[in-house]
Amino acid sequence: MNRVVLVAGASSGVGRDAAASLAARGHTVYGTSRDVTRVDAPGVTPVALEVTDDRSVRACVEEVVERAGGIDAVVYSAGFYVAGSAEETDPELAIAQLDAYLVGAHRLVRAVLPHMRRRGGGRLLLMSSTAAVAAIPFHSVYSASKAALNHYAEALRYEVEPFGVRVACVEATSVRTGAATALRTGAPLPVYQPVRDKVLDRFRRLQLEGPEPTAVSREIVRAVEARRMRPLYRVGLQAKTLPVLRAVLPRRLFAHLYGRFFGLGRPPGD
């Protein structure tokens, strides 16, 4: 069944690959970016969108509805990557991170829900991370934004499923998108440098070894096409095993092992 899918953040990474994969499957795909010239996936129609601007979000949704007659599914994969210690991350950067991942998703959800309710259903897929399950050291704001997105999706599910609208999160980790080489940071403090640099170097190496965006886009396609979409899709071995380890291991042991994984010493609170 051909569906009309709006992919937010389709100019690069998972969003671009998901848009291309959905179009290749015969779906009608609209891909967004602040700069529409960067939406170059085959078979994808570019639409301008700035997720931090209410008017831009409303205009994007109205344009797609007018051109396609409605929207069956939304894939939210927009955002950027903030790293560094909490003390190094100024409030403006923290607000921008939350605006991109959480509030931006909320803007798009609010804009599209009236159309989905009138049509009697739809699908909302929000790109999350295993950082929502176990916060990554020196990624406090990033981890908080993904955890908030997961809880947002959980609450939203209760509210909109009576209208036939399904909500899902897609969790992955260390996907090879190149985001770790284009991170945003605040003003560095020398006191954090040795440990911070060790953790960020470790994260960059993990991303080089992580799953390709195609692994994530396959799950997104599966969710869009499924007879009944699941509330959670986890991609990759780490994304599947980390929540289990966190649930079954004693807190101190998990913190010790997780810290060691990133090259840290004693666990917090030890």
pLDDT at 236: 86
Look up tokens 């990474």; give the residue. Answer: 13
CA atoms within 13 Å, Cβ hemisphere of 103 = 11
117: exposed, middle or buried (Cβ count in 10 Å: 0-12, 13-18, 19+): middle
Q: Give percent of the chain with pLDDT exceeding 90.
A: 80
The pLDDT tens digits of the residues spanning 216-262 come to: 999 999 999 999 999 999 998 889 999 999 999 999 999 999 999 88
Q: What is the layout of strands, in order, in the sheet containing 44-48? A: 44-48, 28-33, 4-8, 73-76, 122-127, 165-171, 232-234
The pLDDT tens digits of the residues spanning 9-58 come to: 999 889 999 999 999 999 999 999 999 999 999 999 999 999 999 999 99
Q: Rounded to the nearest 10 degrees, how much is the dihedral formed by the CA atoms of 64, 66, 69, 71? A: 30
Closest CA to 77 of 133, 156, 5, 14: 14
Q: Give percent of the chain with pLDDT exceeding 70.
A: 94
Closest CA to 207 of 248, 178, 227: 178
- Packing angle of the helix pair 54-68, 104-119 (nearest 10 deg): 30
The pLDDT tens digits of the residues spanning 104-161 come to: 999 999 999 999 999 999 999 999 999 999 999 999 999 999 999 999 999 999 999 9
Q: What is the DSSP letter of 139?
A: B
How many C-beta atoms surround the C-beta of residue 192 within 10 A?
A: 16
Q: Are 125 and 77 in contact (CB under 8 A)?
A: no
d(CA 8, CA 31): 6
**Enzyme catalytic residues:** 11, 128, 142, 146
Mean pLDDT taken over the chain: 92
